[in-house]
Structure 1
Amino acid sequence: MAKKKATGSVKNGRDSISKRLGIKKGNGSKVICGNIIVRQRGLKFKNGTNTKIGKDYTIYSMSKGKVFFVKSNIVCVI
């Protein structure tokens, strides 16, 4: 008869997948219409000229041009 106690399964081996948030196009980057510039949770960055905000707060380009960050949290495409 075996005297060793059976061990349980590993309990610490889980982790959630990353959400890939953050700035996708940096200051001065060229974009076309529909390019994602920033993916975020909440309004950390606000939209400026030629940009719109999606329902998940993603900021994307509405025209062709270059990305500019004004006051470090307003995103514009000129």
Structure 2
Amino acid sequence: MAHKKGQGSSRNGRDSHGQRRGVKRYAGQAVNAGSILVRQVGTRIHPGRNVGVGRDYTLYALCDGTVLYESSKGRIVARIEPAA
């Protein structure tokens, strides 16, 4: 057994916090304009009707309504069905 720690364990012991990405509002949920729907890297989920894109690819609601996620042509699209 070593009687000293060695180089490894004294230099390790760091980790960065998670960035809280993912879906924030699920299908069927009611949202207000400006609500964040998805935080993502790149367009894993694409914007549909009444959905805007931030410069970090965050999807957000452009109007009040209900969230819907649809799959078409091999891609997932988020859209907002406006409240009547």
| TM-score bracket for this pair, using the shorter chain length | 0.7 to 0.9
Are 1:77 and 2:80 matched, yes or no? yes
TM-score w.r.t. the length of structure 2 is 0.80
TM-score w.r.t. the length of structure 1 is 0.86
**Amino acid across the alignment from 1:75:** A
Q: What percentage of aligned pairs have identical amino acids?
A: 36
After TM superposition, give the deviation of residue 40 of structure 1 in Å: 0.2
Unaligned runs of 5+ in 1: none
1:24-35 correspondence to structure 2 within 5 Å: 24-35=24-35
Mean Cα deviation higher: 19-28 or 64-73? 64-73
Give the structure with higher Rg (CA). Answer: 1
**Amino acid across the alignment from 1:76:** R
2:65 aligned residue: 65
CA distance in 2, matches of 1:69, 1:52: 14
After TM superposition, give the deviation of residue 73 of structure 1 in Å: 1.1
**Amino acid across the alignment from 2:37:** I
Q: Which has the higher helix share?
A: 2
